[in-house]
Amino acid sequence: MPELPEVETVRLGLLLALPGEVVSKVEVLRKDSIGHPTSEQFARLLPGHSFEDIERRGKYLLMKLSGGAGLAVHLRMSGRLLLTKKGARASKFLRVRITLKSGLELGFEDMRVFGRLWFVPAGS
């Protein structure tokens, strides 16, 4: 299970690479990895937003997006966020693929499927 130091290490790594990146496409490969809204809405609402900042509250990663929206992530027991080049070989545990306009992909892998992602609309 990722403990607080590991979650903070993930945050710091993403903070170096994600700010300014714009989401171009979202693929939800496992619907129960999305906490809110529905997986279809999640895939429709996230594209077009850019990453502005990444914070941590406990074991939650809170990604501030353009327009006041947000993306919350809890890795739970086996979740991982990986930033790779577009088209890199995906793991069989890939649950959500977020393609960025720069050609990178942010992948959410979770072997046990306990982790969740939430899209938080502006003003929530």
For the annotated catalytic residues, the residue numbers are: 2-3
How many angstroms separate the CA atoms of 118 and 123, rounded? 15
Backbone angles phi, psi at 47, to 5 degrees: -60, 145
Q: Which residues, 6+ apart, have CB-to-CB distance to 60 below 8 Å? A: 72, 73, 74
Q: Which residues, 6+ apart, have CB-to-CB distance to 33 below 8 Å? A: 39, 95, 96, 108, 110, 113, 115, 116, 117
